[in-house]
Amino acid sequence: MYSEKLGSNRGTLLRKNDSKLLLIDIKVKYLKDIFLINGNIFFTEDISSQDLIIPPNGYYMIINRSDKEIHIKYNLDVSQHQIIYNPYKYEKAQKIKIDPIEFKKSHEVPDGYIDILSKWYSIKFTYPEYNLIFIKPEMGISFQIHRERSEYWEILKGKPIVLTGHRVYYFVESGTHIKNPVGSYHSIINANTQKEKFVVIKERWSGHFDEEDITRVFNPNHYH
């Protein structure tokens, strides 16, 4: 038996189960307060104890959406499971924004952009018709929703984990196109551990684009 405590608005590691069936035990009264990744499904409501059964070699992650700490029990020692993504690995690291000038020199960033949004975990170059978004290795954008626009992603480089709606896709190939309708959950995670292996996506949109139109439902490293 293995257990861990999960603080308010915190997530577990995204792990990969081993060859045995994994049983996760969370008190029923807390099931309404969690989000769950079980394999390719992103559960956000009406979660039952059956949904907490992780098949062999399945991916899993739990997010505590409540304002209280919850206690999670496992029938296996999950500390031995492969870590796919640790959302808190760099939580205490110094947050230095990416330098756009230096970044442009070392990456193939086309001319013609009209705006730059530089953060410490990603950088976005905005063109008249699309955005180019570069995401650092071992980092991910927050799980989020837009109320006034749909987004369309094309994976240009890297093999990210993509959350869209209630589906999760692992190590998505370059050239893949993804639609995130208005009001749908979405995120991109760069699980690559090699220093300069950025994930690059081209992002287009329809509807009203506003940088303030964003609701973060899971914001692991407090990206404000």
Model confidence pLDDT, tens digit, residues 172-221: 999 999 999 999 999 999 999 887 799 999 999 998 877 788 899 998 76
Whether the per-residue pLDDT at 70 is higher than 90: the answer is yes
E strands, 65-105, in order: 70-74, 82-85
Whether residue 58 has pLDDT greater than 80: yes
Residue in 36, 77, 70 with CA at minimum distance from that of residue 168: 36
Identify the domain containing residue 16 by its residue range.
Answer: 2-85
Give the mean model confidence (pLDDT) for residues 160-167.
Answer: 97
Mean pLDDT of 144-153: 94
| 64 and 106 belong to one structural domain | no
Q: Which of 59, 85, 111 is the endpoint of a domain?
A: 85
Instruction: Provide the edge-to-edge strand list for the sheet that holds 22-25.
Output: 2-6, 70-74, 22-25, 53-54
pTM attached to this predicted model: 0.94
Q: What percent of the chain has pLDDT over 70?
A: 98
CA 217: distance to chain centroid? Answer: 11
Is residue 94 situated within a structural domain?
A: no
pLDDT band, residue 223 (cuts 50/70/90): very low
Q: What is the DSSP letter of 106?
A: H
Q: What is the pLDDT of residues 97-148, one digit of tens each?
A: 999 999 999 998 999 999 999 999 999 999 999 999 999 999 999 999 999 9
pLDDT at 2 over 90: yes
132 is a domain residue? yes
What letters, b where the CB count within 10 A reaches 16 and e where it falls short, cover 102-119?
Answer: ebbeebebeeebeeeeee
pLDDT at 193: 84
- Specify whether 31 is located in the same domain as 71: yes
* Residue 69 shares a structural domain with residue 133: no
Q: What integer is the mean pLDDT of 142-167?
A: 96
Q: How many domains does the chain have?
A: 2
What pLDDT, on a 0 to 100 scale, did the predictor assign at position 211?
76
